[in-house]
Amino acid sequence: MNVDAAIAAVAAIAGLCTGVIAMLAFRWSERDQAKPTRSSLHTDAVLPPGVDTVLSVLRSSAVVLDEEDAVVKASSAAYALGLVRGGKLAVEPMLLMARDTRRDGEIRQVELDLPRRGTGRGEALAVSARVAPLGSRLVLLLVEDLTEARRIEAVRRDFVANVSHELKTPVGALSLLSEAVMDASEDPEAVTRFAGRMQIEATRLTSLVQELIDLSRVQNDDPLEDAEPVRVDELVAEAIDRCRHQAGTKQITMAAGGTAELHVWGNRGQLAAALGNLVENAVNYSPARTRVGIAARRIAAPGGDLIEVSITDQGIGISEKDRERIFERFYRVDPARSRATGGTGLGLAIVKHVAASHGGEVTVWSAEGQGSTFTLKLPEAGGVRDRVEAAAASGRRKGGNSLIEPDDLDDEDPDRSYETFTNEPPPVAHHP
């Protein structure tokens, strides 16, 4: 009995010890789980109250670093710019700034040029970085992308320089020619020759000033304030009339065709200037006895039908490197030829701004020695199209010979079509 009792007592003591050990192990496990780990430090819980909300609404890229330079918080813009990779700040100069600010508490700011991610062309990303302490342990880094601002400033700077140069050239020529006229006052033939040159330079100066005014207007005015349905065939007729003299001098045939009775919505003056610039360029850069064609059609698009007007020439064509820049202000493919034709380098820039402000675009296809096709795409005036279709249906029901009655649209002749502008058949556009 004594032996059995002793065995039972030993078993009880062993069970009690096992229970105590298990309880202690459980307590230790709970305490270890409650301890802050390295990964838990990198959560929103370590940020001061309200900081997370403020960072979420900032336009700048934001990165919060702890005392070990680990990223505690980073905005999506910071990842998009490539500032944060693998939980670390990837820009060494910014990291050094953060360490200096953590050491002395001073706010620092610097502008840097960073390599753009995902491009092999060495393009720089201009940023402004500002570092400030956030509490006792954290450092806040705010990064502003200055790339677009610098690009706009460079464009503005180039624009001013180009305007100064372009104005200086004809003004200087007029000054020299006026002196030549004074010196040749007793030579009637020389006076006549110099006066003719003065007239050419004065015309060039007038054109330049007018195109600068037009460019300023299309950039600053809202074309939809005075928007109205505009008939495309009338715009084409105006463009052809504008260039008829130049085309006749070079024996260039201008042919128009495509779908009639198309309408776009916008500012009539701006649209006429844009289409006129395209046709004038086609005539100026085409050799003698060639052909310039203008064709319009309706194309389907996800956001609504578009009106596409294509201007095709058989000119010298445009090289691939120049096609990327021809819509820049004052850019000329051939400066010498532009001076000979009186070009200012602003015509295509005006076309681009007019197309963009009307919700459309302008594109170009060209091959050297084969000619070019400029295509202007603009949203169709849907309400006018519905009226045209309704009038056409009414004409068919009445059994008349004409599908559309004149009074169904306006007081102008609705039967004017592209074929009335020329006896030539519709042009065939060059397409890639």
Kindly report, residue by residue over 303-313, the tens digit of the pLDDT. Answer: 889 999 999 99
- How many Å apart are CA 205 and CA 344, to the nearest integer? 9
Give the ranges where 184-325 is alpha helix by DSSP (H). 188-220, 232-249, 268-284, 320-323
- How many Å apart are CA 426 and CA 254, to the nearest integer? 10
Structure tokens at 376: 């202007």
Instruction: Please tell me whether the overall predicted TM-score, pTM, comes out greater than 0.85 for this model.
Output: no
Beta strands (DSSP E) in 75-174 are: 84-85, 88-89, 108-115, 124-134, 138-145
**CATH assignment of 223-421, given 3.40.50.10860, 3.30.565.10, 3.40.50.300, 3.30.70.260?**
3.30.565.10
Domain 147-220 CATH assignment equals 1.10.287.130: yes
- How many Å apart are CA 118 and CA 230, to the nearest integer? 44
Say what the pLDDT of residue 254 is.
92
Contact 306, 360 (CB under 8 A): yes
Say what the pLDDT of residue 389 is.
52
Contact 70, 146 (CB under 8 A): no
- CATH number of the domain located at residue range(s) 44-145 in this protein: 3.30.450.20
Q: Tokens 């102008």 appear where? A: 412
Kindly report, residue by residue over 349-368, the tens digit of the pLDDT. Answer: 889 989 988 989 999 999 88
For CATH 1.10.287.130, the residue range(s) in the chain are: 147-220
For CATH 3.30.565.10, the residue range(s) in the chain are: 223-421
Give the chain's residues under pLDDT 50.
Answer: 1, 29, 32-45, 119-121, 336, 338, 384, 388, 396-432
- Distant-in-sequence, close-in-space partners of 345: CB < 8 Å, separation ≥ 6: 162, 166, 329, 330, 331, 332, 338
For CATH 3.30.450.20, the residue range(s) in the chain are: 44-145
Say what the pLDDT of residue 4 is.
61
